[in-house]
Chains A and B, each alone.
Chain A
């Protein structure tokens, strides 16, 4: 909302500078977007003077010492550095007390020892352009002593306010004037309006309201107007706030809109067919050409003002070309009405058509002001366009709300605020706002006028109080702090630990957008999964879907860092991802990392390259932070259905039903690397967890498991198996057989693969896996004999299961 200070002064006396006002308004809740001044700012002690004489300064070649007549009384001596003037010229003279732009205060002083009682000014010093080459010579020779603002009238400052959604009342000059009056405790002056009892017949016979979205509609007929350009004052006022003058009648409606906040509409009476106006819901598909010359199709439920045949106005939003007031118009019907905010908002949004009217209606205009605005507009139309009011003002319905009374105690205000303040100070702020306060009882009655619809409850009055009382008055106090009442949520704790762990493993943490592009998503996660992640109203195609994984983002980061010559090696991220599991969409927590196997950096000493097991180890450690035992991760190779991962070189493990996780580790597929322009192999890992699972994690204390103080005995066993047989399946068989073989007399503590061999000496398609099997007893040192017996039994059992023991 643009507010012209010149316009504003019609309603309130302003004796602060525009800068001060722009500083003060935000502190009562009216945010200032910009301040623009046109013409000459208001200057004190800056008058027209005539140069009577000029002498050379005794100590400075470039300075002159002038005697200047600045009004009645003695001429003033002023030292001046300009050279473009001559004796007899009239120039602007800033006298002591004047404050020029940039807070430059003029004082009586000495220049190089010669007293100077002011300053003669250039155009630039007055803010009238950039000419600083010499004094501004006033060629038209205004009267000596005239204030410079009288010589150059027309200056104005326009403040653009960015108003919050609750302050529809400030979308007008009177609304803002009311706030300023409250702020500086000034009087608010409203324009006087007349009654207009029309004579004879009106221009329309009736207004029919067929929709509940229009509780109040008024229409006044004015006959014989003379459409012409508006007078200068009206044009200037509109232009000052960025509106284009059109003709006197339309300009008046716009002026009153910006003055009172009440949107008005003037119909050309001769274009209203059937002699009546109908406020009704549009029919589906009903066409209208709005004033912006767009042909629009309305939908059922949008409200229109129609005549007997067609819609003339999208109610509260915009008129149509069909009923526009033009140069041939002589008779008009003036609408002033109140429409339901929700209805106007919905229509405006659906049509993507926003106007000064719809902006105000959707923020709830003052229904009691409907009549005032109509009368104000009629006064002005009669004044600037002539004509006469005919027929009665047609008024259908009642203001849907009026003033209200809120009961409040001053103690309540103090209780919410938490500081002491006197009753009178509280009541005073309400009074300044134009509310009426009855403080005769402990329970005050505060009467709030209809122009403040959002002040509805005692707490709203507290806000009004604190806003005007001033937030700098809130005293300082210590922070109320007692001990913790709860622990950080499990997900926050997990993320913190996971990132800390990875940072400790030399990963640089990244952060990528949650939204991603659907095409790439379909390629790497399948079209079906991608479709489940689609947004309904994305802004761009690059950000149209939710991400199912953090890895694509990390690959982006690898590419960017390679391109920028940063030799990226290890990157990680935590964040939310979205996945369909068993046909249902879930929001999941993820932690992921990527490792460039070759970061492209040359080294004076080589390091062993990371491999699948590097990733597996990290995922296991991350899983244990989530309460999942790494040993429980049952890995299987990923297949063709996971094109992001390299077949044969990546694995996944999941236990969705019980513990709500999925994990991946291994090489990114060569196809993906090509897509991402990456020259190196990339290892990656991702652990995806249902956040609810983290919260459910039991916090049972771990109790000590006793361990033996006697040494273990280890036997090695190599088995020849099919190349496709997994080490884990063999290990499990071995563990089972070993436990059986010891027969409870002692324990088989651990079975671990330590060697893998294929090639010479073994048949094609076979491999040899060697395991170390550790035995231990809790109470004694095992003898070779008893271990030997168990080991023999173990080998027999393995052979019985079909394994070949390698000699």
Chain B
């Protein structure tokens, strides 16, 4: 019996170092401690041991069992460690580059647009959208620019064919479809749909029949603003523009309203801005856009009572603002989509 137990221990000691898989370990374990295992058999043999030898043999058997359990535990720990190590793989080199190289980014125009939107949202303006394909009435007539007005020159407006009908862009009469030349059309559509008071901005794409160069683009983006309420004054217009320019270009920037002409505002102004922290463009007047008090004729064409309602409107180029803010000198970059440009401003 004693020899038998010693042999079992010797077998286990001899076998376990070679076991490298859990399954092999379990199979081997069964040959020793399983129902038909050698150790199990030896334990069963206890009943044949003479009574006076039983205490000593019992003790020996227990010791043997513990010895073997310890070998099992040690082996299991070794196997688990190996499994874990395999799962984890070799230690990393944290300085290697990430193989997932694609990086998400917002287009600089989107970034600029969002910046402007958030500035205006703080003072109660929300975004209104309108169609890019428009009609002559929404783009001109409703904006106090009748057919024979010199400001309405077919030279730089893009037309759809005479018979074209865009199903979800309503016409006022039988006028033609055009590509909108300014976002002021959204003023009209919004006022015809909603009741005053109204505070909207409408960023969007506009089209000109222009040859593309560093400063001209067949399409570009504008941001129109409209405020309609009772007793809106020129002082209010100046105040919102002062606020906008300070938010975008920083405190210390100044605004200048230069008298000008737009058919849909009266009085009308060009909006100029001067700021001390703009590199080469510092401390000189830079034109940002146009603005003015909504012309009473515009209110008439959308069915608002001009005796009751007053308002201001302004418009500026989103590319232009992005170009000024980031020092971009060619508008074509915005539409070339070179990643080195797109991801520079993220």
Contacts and interface: CB of A to CB of B under 8 A. Distances in A.
A474 B266 CA distance: 16
B163 to A, nearest CB: 10
A478 B166 CA distance: 43
Given A362-B150, A472-B256, A569-B102, A513 B219 contact: yes
Interface stretch (B41-49, B70-78, B153-161): B153-161
Interface string A584-602: 1111000000000001010
A586 B104 contact: no
Interface stretch (B20-28, B30-38, B257-265): B257-265
Interface in B147-177: 147-151, 153-155, 158-162, 164-169
A473 B169 CA distance: 43
Interface string A447-478: 00000000001011011001100011011111
A536 B159 contact: yes
B61 to A, nearest CB: 43
A537 B208 CA distance: 11
A508 B97 contact: no
B110 A535 contact: no
B340 A564 contact: yes
Interface in A434-457: 457
Nearest to A364: B150
Interface stretch (A40-48, A49-57, A497-505): A497-505
A702 to B, nearest CB: 24
Nearest to B145: A165
Contacts of A576: 131-132, 205
Interface string B248-275: 0000000011111100001111100000
Contacts of B293: 416, 459
B235 A474 contact: yes
Contacts of B161: 534-536
A486 interface: yes
Contact of B239 (A462, A478, A492): A478
A166 B261 contact: yes
B138 interface: no
Nearest to A481: B123
Nearest to B208: A539
Interface in A500-557: 500, 502-515, 532, 534-539, 543, 546, 556-557
A537 B209 contact: yes
Contact of B261 (A164, A362, A534): A164
A345 interface: yes
Interface string A657-696: 0000000000000000000000000000000001110000
A561 B340 CA distance: 9
Contact of A690 (B159, B168, B207): B168
Contact of A604 (B99, B128, B236, B335): B99
A512 B129 CA distance: 19
A594 to B, nearest CB: 11
Nearest to B176: A536
A747 interface: no
Contacts of B133: 546, 578, 587
Contacts of A167: 261
Interface stretch (B6-14, B50-58, B194-202): B194-202
B99 A607 contact: yes
A29 B159 contact: no
Contact of A462 (B160, B267, B270): B267
A568 interface: yes
A584 B266 contact: no
B259 A463 contact: yes
Interface centre among B100, B102, B106, B232 (most CB of A within 10 A): B102
B339 A561 contact: yes
Contact of A508 (B103, B199, B295): B103
B338 A585 contact: no
Contacts of B153: 349
B138 to A, nearest CB: 13
Interface in B194-227: 194, 197-200, 205, 207, 209-211, 217-219
B166 A511 contact: no
A569 B126 CA distance: 35
B205 A489 contact: no
Nearest to A165: B150
A483 interface: yes
Nearest to B169: A587
Interface residues of A, number: 102
A417 B166 CA distance: 41
Given A165-B151, A418-B233, A513 B126 contact: no
A244 B243 CA distance: 50
A607 B235 contact: no
A543 B218 contact: yes
A463 B267 contact: yes
A482 B257 CA distance: 25
Contact of A570 (B96, B102, B128): B102
Number of chain B interface residues as a range = 35 or more
A9 B269 CA distance: 29
Nearest to A419: B235
Contact of A587 (B104, B131, B147, B211): B131
A99 interface: no
A606 interface: yes
B269 to A, nearest CB: 7
B22 to A, nearest CB: 26
A511 B233 contact: no
Given A485-B197, A607-B100, A26 B168 contact: no
Interface string B323-343: 000000000001111111011
A460 B266 contact: yes
Interface centre among B104, B205, B219 (most CB of A within 10 A): B104
B276 interface: no
B234 A418 contact: yes
B102 to A, nearest CB: 4
A194 interface: no
B29 interface: no
A605 interface: yes
A512 B259 contact: no
Interface in A15-72: 26-29, 31
Nearest to B97: A604
B165 A584 contact: yes
B129 A491 contact: yes
Contacts of B122: 481
B268 to A, nearest CB: 7
Contacts of B147: 342
A567 interface: yes
A800 interface: no
A418 B267 CA distance: 13
A108 interface: no
Contact of B343 (A28, A341, A475, A508): A508
B240 interface: yes
Contacts of A691: 129, 168
Interface in B102-137: 102-107, 109-110, 114, 121-124, 126-129, 131-133
Interface in A365-419: 415-419
Interface centre among B99, B153, B295 (most CB of A within 10 A): B99
Interface in A278-303: none
B127 A492 contact: yes
Given A486-B126, A537-B159, 12 more contacts: A459-B267, A477-B236, A481-B122, A485-B126, A485-B197, A506-B103, A507-B104, A509-B105, A509-B342, A515-B158, A515-B207, A607-B99
22 contacts: A31-B270, A415-B233, A416-B234, A417-B235, A419-B234, A466-B259, A474-B234, A481-B122, A483-B124, A485-B126, A492-B128, A499-B110, A502-B104, A509-B106, A510-B107, A514-B179, A514-B205, A539-B218, A576-B205, A587-B133, A605-B99, A607-B100
Interface of A: 26-29, 31, 164-167, 341-342, 345-346, 349, 362-363, 415-419, 457, 459-460, 462-463, 466-467, 471-472, 474-489, 491-492, 496, 499-500, 502-515, 532, 534-539, 543, 546, 556-557, 560-561, 564, 566-571, 575-576, 578, 584-587, 599, 601, 603-607, 690-692
